[in-house]
A and B are shown apart, each in its own frame.
Chain A
Amino acid sequence: MSAVMSHQRADPSVQEPPAAATAVTPWLKRPNVQRVFYPMLVAAVLIALWQSLVVAFQIPHYLVPSPLRVAGVLVTDAALLFGALVTTLKITVLAFVCATLLGVAIAFAFVQNRVIETALFPYAVLLQVTPIVAIAPLIIIWVKSPTASLVICATLVALFPIIANTTLGLRSVSPGLASYFKLQRATRWQTLVRLRIPSALPYFFGGLRISSGLALIGAVVAEFVAGTGGTGTGLAYQILQAGYQLNIPRMFAALVLITATGVALFAAMALLSKWALAGWHDSEVAHE
């Protein structure tokens, strides 16, 4: 870590790198740079390998397209693919927001009353273990609006981690602090706002990270099930269509977009968590 950044906390266990090494490659020594640099290096090697294998063995593009061809399709079919991305993203974000609001509300209900939790928690688990593929057709039949039905499916997939993590978090109050609040005759509301909610935040953000990815998976799966009966413009629909037409490069291009979206969502949640917890929670305090 560079001397510029380490002024905040003097950790005796951390040895500053020798000045010479810092001067030669200061940027590569930074953990933030390393965190991006090393995975990128792996990606570059894999893509290069993929490209050379496809070229060397003259594999036809309708079986395995080369990365260059996929990139080309991303440009030529940009209007189609990015339009589809916007549709899928809209469903994902709507579902993610619904799952977060609903999950937090349910978690609050759970911690207010043991009876509510005991009575309803098995059904939350039921929700989690039922494959969405199995119930998506029903939801699509029952709900008239294609967008609404897809959002419901994706919400169901993303809901459970928010409920489970937030409930756990709201209960994970340090016993010492809980006694202190009791001693100070804090009201139920004060204890909730000043103690339970801040204590729950690390768990809640953990739930958000998992759910953001699940919301995307839920949206794509629901689109697949809906097929041509759905909104008909999402990325999953493009993959289906491209499959029928044996347009393998476009399938790959759509897949790349879905994956990139998932990574971006995860990164956004990680950043949000870092911003909210930096400075106090062990998971987000730099341990260079």
Chain B
Amino acid sequence: MTPAIELLGVSKTYANGTQALLPVDLTVQEGEFVTLLGASGCGKSTLLKMVAGLLEPTDGRLLVGRKPIARSDQRIAFVFQEATLMPWARVQSNVRLPLDLAQVPRSEADARVQDALHLVGLQSFAAHRPRELSGGMQMRVSIARSLVTRPTLLLMDEPFGALDEITRHRLDADLLDLWRDQKLTVVFVTHSIYEAVYLSQRVIVMAARPGRVVDEVVIDEPYPRSAGFRVSTAFAGHAARLQDALQRASAAEPATV
């Protein structure tokens, strides 16, 4: 097993003194699906943004593909909570954007856009504008845009948080197919216990004030995971363990919600 991401005592303190994240030690193996679970303010997004290179760690050592993030040769893709599409551009131009920015030749870029749209099931919507699509479809476009760079590491920051539950379940299932098919390493941020159980091999449980890692739960269930898994006793057992871990962590805090 090769580590894709290694964090050694990585912490983040903002300029105003807020401790967003206490030192974290974490290793994510290549091809693993790891979820960061916690309430808002637990530093899960901060952690993800540091891995992406969008934020500087205050302290500690962060390696991506065994190299510091600035010199890393890993292809990292980031999916935000919002689809963050360009409203003026058609779906195909939105998906092609990272290739255009990297100045990939047009013919090759177009072929890769076709492939990526096919992977998310939107090949017939290439000429649509984002506003003509539903929220779930916009998210699919955003995922296609991240896949077009052929990433090895996919970082997702509550990507389906704004969607209704039925749409979210379908996208969860499609994401697992993509992960297995494309042999990606995925780090997924969510505040949904059920999403964490359904998707992950491993869940990192985090707590707030100050943001920290409190537990780690392995979801030892085989893939592919069917929709039936969501209503199985095994699923409920994993969910109860996560619920328990979250509750123990927040019991120590003063009530703020």
Contacts and interface: CB of A to CB of B under 8 A. Distances in A.
A183 B132 contact: no
B98 interface: yes
Contacts of B97: 184, 194
A176 B131 contact: no
Contact of B84 (A9, A174, A185): A174
B52 interface: yes
B88 interface: yes
B231 interface: no
A184 B98 contact: yes
Contacts of A195: 86
Contact of A198 (B84, B88, B131): B88
Given A182-B54, A183-B53, A194-B100, A280 B129 contact: yes
A76 interface: no
Tier of interface size on chain A: 20 to 34
Q: B interface, by DSSP: helix, strand, loop or mixed?
A: loop
Interface string B93-131: 000011011100000000000000000000000000111
A180 interface: yes
A181 B98 CA distance: 8
Contacts of A198: 86, 88-89
B255 to A, nearest CB: 32
Nearest to B84: A176
Given A9-B132, A184-B98, A186-B101, A179 B80 contact: yes
A201 B89 CA distance: 13
Q: A interface, by DSSP: helix, strand, loop or mixed?
A: helix
Interface string A62-87: 00000000000000000000000000
A279 B130 CA distance: 10
A125 interface: no
A186 B130 CA distance: 22
B93 to A, nearest CB: 10
B169 to A, nearest CB: 23
Contact of A183 (B78, B82, B100, B131): B78
B101 A184 contact: yes
A214 B63 CA distance: 58
Interface string A167-185: 0000000101101111111
A177 B101 CA distance: 13
B50 to A, nearest CB: 13
B5 to A, nearest CB: 16
B75 to A, nearest CB: 11
Contacts of B98: 184
Given A183-B78, A198-B86, A285 B101 contact: no
A180 B129 contact: no
A183 B129 contact: no
Nearest to A176: B84
A204 to B, nearest CB: 13
Given A179-B54, A183-B53, A183-B78, A280 B84 contact: no
Nearest to B145: A180
A190 interface: yes
A281 interface: yes
A184 B88 CA distance: 19
Contact of A190 (B86, B88, B101, B131): B101
A176 B88 contact: no
Contact of B87 (A9, A186, A281): A281
Interface in A267-286: 277, 279-281, 285
Contacts of A182: 54
B80 A285 contact: no
Contacts of B88: 198, 201, 277, 280-281
A281 B54 CA distance: 29
A176 B54 contact: no
Contacts of A281: 87-88
Contacts of A277: 88
Given A182-B54, A184-B97, A281-B87, 16 more contacts: A176-B84, A177-B84, A179-B80, A179-B84, A180-B78, A180-B80, A183-B52, A183-B54, A183-B78, A184-B98, A190-B101, A194-B97, A194-B100, A195-B86, A198-B88, A280-B89
Interface of A: 9, 174, 176-177, 179-186, 190, 194-195, 198, 201, 277, 279-281, 285
Ordered nearest first, which 5 A-B pairs have the shortest CB separation? Answer: A176-B84, A280-B88, A280-B87, A198-B88, A184-B101
Interface of B: 52-54, 78, 80, 82, 84, 86-89, 97-98, 100-102, 129-132
